[in-house]
A and B are shown apart, each in its own frame.
Chain A
Amino acid sequence: MSTYNKEQVAHLAEGTLDWETTFRMLSMPKDKARFSMYLEALQKKVTFPDRIVLPLGPHMYIVQSAKTKQWVTQCDCGHVFCGYKENWKMFANIYVRDTEEAMADVYPTLMAPDTKWQVYREYYCPSCGTMHDVEAPTPWYPVIHDFEPDIETFYKEWVGLPVPERAA
């Protein structure tokens, strides 16, 4: 197994890691210490005081609230969407591209979906305007709850780390 240092993992999270090391990460068995180094690197990047429990996207995390110790889904601008078990999209802002004109802002003529068949649902942070996800379903599709991680099992049994405190 290859091992990597904190600096390399921080570069990976930043998208600035050299290709040789990235390639080694791809081709060699995975390093178990990655998760804790990754959390540390991300924690240094964010400006909020809350502890990152699990990264969900480039700007979204499940965090342990510094004030309440509750686990919440949070944007890196500090905006709290909801409790970590809920679907954050239900608490986001949405912009639906469901007309030809709206699609024309994204793709050249003929290269966009026909909005009678498929729409784009762009989910934004209501505070900072980061686009966290783009759903591309047919009309009528329920808002998808993408991910319900089993954080306790992952920390305790898979990576051998203490589970951060969680207030009810």
Chain B
Amino acid sequence: MNMMSNTETGFADLLKNGQTLSQFRADIAARTKATGCYNGLEKLELRESDPIGYEKLFSKLRGGLVHARETAKKIAASPIVEQEGELCFTLYNAVGDCILTSTGIIIHVGTMGAAIKYMIENNWEANPGIAPGDMFTNNDCSIGNVHPCDIATIVPIFHDGRLIGWVGGVTHVIDTGAVTPGSMSTGQTQRFGDGYMITCRKTGVNDTPLRDWLHESQRSVRTPKYWILDEKTRIAGCHMIRELVEEVIAADGIENYEKFAYEVIEEGRRGLMMRIKDMTMPGVYRKVAFVDVPYSHPDIQVSNAFAKLDTIMHSPCEMTIKKDGKWRLDFEGASRWGWHTFNAHQVAFTSGIWVMMCQTLVPTQRINDGAYYATEFHLPKGAWCNPDDRRTGHAYAWHFLVSGWSALWRGLSQAYFSRGYLEEVNAGNANTSNWLQGGGINQDGEIHAVNSFEASSCGTGACAVKDGLNHAAAIWNPEGDMGDIEIWEMAEPLLYLGRNVKANSGGYGKYRGGCGFETLRMVWNAQDWTMFFMGNGYMNSDWGLMGGYPSATGYRFEAHKTGLERRIAKGEALPLGADLDPGKAVYEQSIDQTAIVKRDNQCMTTEDCYDNHDLYLNYLRGGPGFGDPIDRDIKAIAKDLNEKFLLPEFAEKVYAVVISQDAKGVWSVDEAKTKARRAAFRKERIARSVPTREWMKEERSRIINKHAIAAVRHMYSTSFSLSEKFLSKFKSFWDLPADWELPESELGVPCYGSKYRMDLSLMPDVRTIVQVEE
């Protein structure tokens, strides 16, 4: 009589086994740790006893996930979702481990799982409660989301009143109500400007979105029509998949479904180890990547003086492939998070690599959390990929995720090459930028934001047997599509004056990287319009492989007060087509001499004003090259010249060929003369080079004298402060004096965050989920 019921104690018994979700999850973790097999599943009972039934279950669920994605995306009006396919649906077991996922941006295998785990570990079952028909919404980057524009709807799945799993759907929305428009903006330097942030909030009951949520969320963003249709897309997909699970259970039984929901993860774990043994080679691989963060420039206007500094993000990767097929990815030495929007949560990193791996190591439908269980991650706490401060901004985490992972491409490609699987070699990926973003009043007179996803079709890295693909793909979406001009012109008040392959953008090599492309846009019929640039400019983030060159860096071109309105009215020449050789500034010949032009490497800017008839060049980068360029087939060089993929000057300087042009303008390469030229070129290389150890003496003296720009010194300083190991290796390699140091305090730039930081885990009543070695 006087005992409290579950209602009073807040124990929901969702699993009907007397355990909380957290206890159930802890038991799974303990069984996994004890046996090395997910959930202690040393034997896959269902798979082994009924392999056909198991595969049928797999096919029904996977097919249903893909079907739900394809159907639901037609609800969306946003070209990002409807054209580019920036959405994904994933099915989870009761503890938030991924069973299967659809096609699309499968980085969210782990991000939505992290949100479910956050709800589990923070007792959501007691408050706000988890019931059939509920919907939860999450985009919180401090608990695992990649960036705030990836909005996830998460729906629990019950059977006979018992929680048996979850389904999540995610779409990349056009605007999140951040300080500046576009979904991945640069104008903020902290979470507090990153836009509308939702932490696993219950936003629907009885399959119906709550009215307060609908009102609040739509007025929190600039693009409510796209927002609400994206939400309907996610809800429709989640409900389709929930129904699918109900049908599968009705046909195959709950016992088989639940066995499958755990066995398939163990199968995924074993599958990755098998793939690693089948395709790679045991050993230690070391690679590194960088990207520029040029924030001291006047065109970066942020509200925090302490963010106004140049720095470089650093991602050293030591990949160890072990005898048993497990692997360890160690990023010791990574630079610290910063006052910008390029930070990434550990889950964005650990989950995200599978979107890349499904394009190389595991190109199968069996992407789930099993791969995570076969991988050891070491992400130093405090690094850009595992921040230790709850203020960090994440709006464009991809700025460095795409680059940081390029080290993995190259490591794996070394393994493929050495093993003879040359067809799998990929020199890397493009820095998938520029990101054209902005907003204002659009051609329909509405408040609007734009985020062009043309970046989903950059050049790919070269292979060991062929060139990379031109304007084809982005690492973060295996279904890359640049989108139709007509659709973009409807979505953005920006007319196309050109869309061309970008010459010289692919890295040179025996096989060159795929070329990127460029589109020249003219502002048209907009009011109070703004735009900005986002990408790499002073550095390229992807290296070539085995003698291939990195792809070209980015640059920006924008023009104001162009006189184009008058020129169009009078029928005068207009800037059209490609910016073939940026040094020749051809666009400037077809606009007013008095136009204000910015043509430079500052590819990171904040919201700037644009009038109608102003110009903006959206240059999408190329991929890196493979092999020594002087091994390149001369026919391929002639083809590149004739297709304007390569400027003649660089055919001569890089490929060392002797070329000529006939009366019709067709280029050809002289084979005999080229042979002689290349022999001479080899001698020139030897003559201009020195033994590495000789050069090291000069470089060492530059280090001792601290001769480098502040951005370089700042990068090293933040890496050193996080990692004694990295500092010690650095000093040892260069044989530096024991007292050599590089404290941030001597750099003469603001060093907020260097000493005083506060992690989310220090907030009261918060349990964060740690899924990596820190």
- Chain A residues at the B interface, C-beta cutoff of 8 Å: 9, 12-13, 15, 17, 22, 25-26, 29-30, 32, 34-35, 37-39, 54-60, 89-96, 105-114, 116-118, 120, 122-124, 126, 128-151, 153-154, 157-158
Contacts and interface: CB of A to CB of B under 8 A. Distances in A.
B419 A34 contact: yes
Given A95-B688, A111-B555, A150 B582 contact: no
Given A133-B546, A133-B547, A149 B281 contact: yes
A142 B729 contact: yes
A96 B653 contact: no
11 contacts: A15-B466, A35-B420, A38-B419, A39-B420, A93-B691, A109-B583, A113-B550, A151-B283, A153-B282, A158-B277, A158-B282
Contact of B546 (A32, A34, A120, A132): A132
B645 interface: no
A90 B547 contact: no
Which 3 A-B residue pairs are closest in the complex by CB-CB distance? A129-B682, A109-B583, A38-B420
Nearest to A37: B420
Interface string B579-614: 001110000000000000001110000000000000
Given A92-B692, A95-B688, 4 more contacts: A92-B691, A120-B549, A131-B685, A133-B546
B548 interface: yes
B361 to A, nearest CB: 11
Contact of B654 (A30, A93, A106, A118): A106
B286 interface: yes
Contacts of B465: 12, 15, 17, 22
Given A108-B650, A111-B582, A93 B286 contact: no
Contacts of A117: 292, 312, 538-539, 709, 711-712
A4 B278 CA distance: 16
B657 to A, nearest CB: 14
B734 A142 contact: yes
A11 to B, nearest CB: 9
A92 to B, nearest CB: 6
Nearest to A54: B418
Interface in B677-715: 681-686, 688-693, 695-696, 699, 702-703, 708-709, 711-712, 715
B628 A131 contact: yes
A150 B283 contact: yes
A118 B685 CA distance: 21
Contacts of A12: 420, 422-423, 465
A105 B653 contact: yes
A100 to B, nearest CB: 12
B654 A134 contact: no
Max chain B C-beta neighbours (<10 A), residue from A138, A141, A153:
A138
Given A108-B650, A139-B712, A132 B547 contact: yes
A96 B322 CA distance: 35
Contacts of A154: 281-283
A154 B414 CA distance: 14
A90 B690 CA distance: 11
Interface string B534-558: 0000111001101111101101000
B336 interface: no
B421 interface: yes
A22 B699 CA distance: 44
A90 B692 contact: yes
A37 B422 CA distance: 13
Contact of B285 (A34, A136, A137, A147): A147
B537 to A, nearest CB: 8
A93 B690 CA distance: 5
Contact of B510 (A32, A58, A126, A137): A58
Contacts of B547: 57-59, 130-134
B424 interface: yes
Nearest to A60: B546
Contacts of A123: 692
Contacts of B711: 116-117
Nearest to A13: B422
A36 to B, nearest CB: 9
Interface residues of B, number: 91
A41 B196 CA distance: 59
B505 interface: yes
Contacts of B599: 110
A111 B553 contact: yes
Contacts of B653: 105-106
A149 B415 CA distance: 9
Interface in B512-568: 538-540, 543-544, 546-550, 552-553, 555
A15 B510 CA distance: 10
B683 A129 contact: yes
A94 B464 CA distance: 24
Given A38-B420, A124-B689, A118 B600 contact: no
B676 to A, nearest CB: 14
Max chain B C-beta neighbours (<10 A), residue from A29, A134, A139:
A134
Contact of B628 (A22, A58, A105, A148): A58
Nearest to A15: B465
Contact of A138 (B281, B312, B510, B552): B312
Contacts of B281: 149-150, 154, 158
Contacts of B555: 110-111
B715 A138 contact: yes
A105 B282 CA distance: 38
Contacts of A116: 538, 708-709, 711-712
A58 B510 CA distance: 10
Interface in B150-199: none
Contacts of B709: 116-117
A117 B552 CA distance: 14
A113 B692 contact: no
B290 interface: yes
B28 interface: no
A30 to B, nearest CB: 5
A79 to B, nearest CB: 11
A25 B627 contact: no
B279 interface: yes
Contacts of B279: 30
Contacts of A57: 417, 546-547, 627
B631 interface: yes
Contact of A134 (B421, B549, B730): B549
Given A30-B278, A138-B712, A150 B323 contact: yes
B543 A153 contact: no
Contacts of B650: 106-108
Contacts of B627: 57-58
Interface in B708-735: 708-709, 711-712, 715-716, 729-730, 733-734
B685 A140 contact: no
Nearest to A58: B627
Nearest to B686: A129
B203 interface: no
B284 A93 contact: no
B508 interface: yes
Contacts of B630: 131
A137 B733 CA distance: 15
A74 to B, nearest CB: 14
A90 B284 CA distance: 18
A133 B424 CA distance: 19
A138 to B, nearest CB: 5
Interface in B722-752: 729-730, 733-734
B467 to A, nearest CB: 11
A136 B540 contact: yes
Given A54-B418, A142-B729, A144-B287, A110 B691 contact: no
Contact of A26 (B423, B581, B647, B695): B423
A109 B422 CA distance: 34
A145 B286 contact: yes
A150 B282 contact: yes
B343 interface: no
A111 B693 CA distance: 30
Contacts of B312: 117, 138
